[in-house]
Amino acid sequence: MECKDLENDVCELKEMVKSQNKRIDELIKHIKEGCNQLEAKELKSSLFNMNPYLECLDPDILYHLNLDTRATNFPKVFGDVRFVCMGGTESRMEQFATFIMTEIGLKMNKAVRLTNIAAEAHRYSLFKVGPVLCASHGIGNPSISIVLHELLKIMHYAKCQKPVFFRMGTCGGIGIEPGTVVITSEALDGQLRAVYEVVIHTEPQLRPTVLSKDLIRELKSLTEPCTDGYDTIAGKTMCCNDFYESQSRMDGAFCDYKPDQRTEFLKRISMSGVVNMEMESTAFAAITHQACIPAAVVCVTILNRLEGDQIEASCERLKDWELRPQKLIARYIHKVLYGGDDTDSSNCDS
């Protein structure tokens, strides 16, 4: 190898180490700030309205995540969490965890895989990458509500300060180009109500679905329409209790409506501002709001429901689309952790 090449390689390596060290210093600063805040504020999470009976549980077994408060030191393991990112599948969340690791400047040996903390429970996946906790939530409101209860208890027991929650996912678009990213402005149920209905002791309770307007604005400001190569819009989301009949598909096992009723329904909800349909946003918005946690839902549309019901996009295309919400959320996390400043020193002479 030429002497000049060697010099260049050394130079590049030095640069990498330098930028990695800078990131680690900044992360340590954030963690220390978090700890100092904790000590100053004394032993309480910033969550609201938590169940008073939790105090009586010793241990509390978080069954679906294979965690319990006696076996795990929650403040030590989870105390630095500032962002909780959720998505439907285990593999998407492992992919996001790996992605966010590089985005926030952490590195891992290529031969090593991130550990799924909840693996033994065989229900959901849970990965921790510094201040980011990544969890899968399965399909539908009942599934996401279970893991949200347990994630909120983690935040509570770990005394986390001001965590922000995100759901990233896929959805059906109503009258918009497939591949478009939608930031939910309002999460509506199948009756176009901005509520999440929970039946307790046979009585329905309607919980408001409130998402953070500031987060929506902030996420919107982080889009780069010219370079992204796709649109990111904010709009109302209809959250349905199933994939087929509630979403007025004609391709389920049963169908007792006619094609023109389907068209009328989709046009009517489109006229009322609904731009997409998925299956978890109302529980996600209502449960995070109940704990006073700022939260946002970012989904990519994988078909235009005005044009059909079947998902015909190739696996490659779907994989590429699924990255879009992840990229936006990663930009937000990066900005919160490091501000607008992304200037790693690249001057190897200094």
Residues that bind ligand R2B (CB under 6 A): 88, 139, 169-171, 243, 278-280
Closest approach, Cβ 169 to ligand URA, in A, equals 7
Amino acid at 18: K
- Burial degree of 59 (CB within 10 A; 0-12, 13-18, 19+): exposed
Token duo for residue 6: 């060697």
Q: Could you tell me which of 277, 266, 210 has the C-alpha nearest to residue 237?
A: 277
Q: Please report, in range form, the residues annotated as the binding site for phosphate.
A: 123, 167-170
Closest approach, Cβ 131 to ligand URA, in A, equals 29
Q: Sign (positive/negative) of CA torsion 341, 87, 176, 319?
A: positive
Closest approach, Cβ 222 to ligand R2B, in A, equals 23
Cβ contact 121:64 at 8 Å: yes
Kindly tell me which residue out of 103, 218, 278, 322 binds ligand URA, with binding defined by CB under 6 A.
Answer: 278
DSSP labels for 152-194? HHHHHHHT--S-EEEEEEEEEESSS-TT-EEEEEEEE-TTS-S
302 makes contact with ligand URA (CB under 6 A): yes
143 makes contact with ligand URA (CB under 6 A): no
Closest approach, Cβ 305 to ligand URA, in A, equals 6
230 makes contact with ligand URA (CB under 6 A): no
Closest approach, Cβ 283 to ligand R2B, in A, equals 11
Helices and strands, counts by H and E, the chain: 9, 12
Nearer to ligand R2B, 164 or 277 (CB): 277
Closest approach, Cβ 171 to ligand R2B, in A, equals 6
**CA distances (Å), 123 to each of 62, 70, 116, 136, 146, in order?**
12, 21, 11, 9, 10
- Which one of ligand R2B, ligand URA, none is in contact with 280 (Cβ closer than 5 to 8 A by kind)? ligand R2B
Dihedrals phi, psi of 64, to nearest 5 degrees:
-80, -10
Dihedrals phi, psi of 17, to nearest 5 degrees:
-60, -40
Nearer to ligand R2B, 60 or 278 (CB): 278
Nearer to ligand URA, 13 or 311 (CB): 311
Interaction with ligand URA in 154-183: which residues (CB under 6 A)?
A: 170-172
277 makes contact with ligand URA (CB under 6 A): yes
Amino acid at 1: M
Nearer to ligand R2B, 104 or 299 (CB): 299
* Residues near ligand URA, by CB under 6 A: 170-172, 243, 247, 277-279, 302
